[in-house]
C-alpha cells in the first residue's frame, strides 16, 4: 500500500475539470485508489468516482491523502501525485 499527502494548489480546488482529470487518471489503473480530505477529516472515498471526489469539498490549499493498493500502485501513485503537484495541468 502506498499513501501520500498532498496540498491542492489549484485555484479551483478539486472541482469540475480537476476532479474529472483525477478520476480519469485513477480509472486507468487496476489498483484500489482511495482519497480523503485531510483538512476536513473526511472518510476515504473511491478516486474512481467523480461524484465522490466532488463530495469531498476540496478547495485551494486543502490537503488530501491518497491510499493506493494493488498490482500497479506505484504507477498510479506516481501519476496521481504528479497530476496534483502540477495543478492538474493548468
Instruction: Give me the active site residues, please.
Output: 15
Cα 11–chain centre separation: 15
For residue 82, give the C-alpha cell: 504528479
Contact by Cβ (8 Å): 32, 70: yes
Compute the distance between CA of residue 90 and CA of residue 80 in angstroms, rounded to an integer.
Answer: 15
Amino acid at each position: 500500500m502506498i499513501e501520500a499527502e498532498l496540498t491542492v494548489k489549484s485555484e479551483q480546488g478539486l472541482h469540475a475539470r480537476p476532479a474529472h482529470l483525477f478520476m480519469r487518471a485513477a480509472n486507468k489503473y487496476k489498483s484500489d485508489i482511495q482519497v480523503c480530505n485531510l483538512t476536513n477529516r473526511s472518510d476515504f472515498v473511491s478516486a474512481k468516482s467523480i461524484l465522490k471526489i466532488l463530495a469531498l469539498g476540496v478547495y485551494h490549499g486543502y490537503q488530501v491523502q491518497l491510499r493506493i493498493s494493488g498490482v500497479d500502485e506505484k504507477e498510479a501513485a506516481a501519476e496521481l501525485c504528479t497530476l496534483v503537484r502540477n495543478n492538474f495541468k493548468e
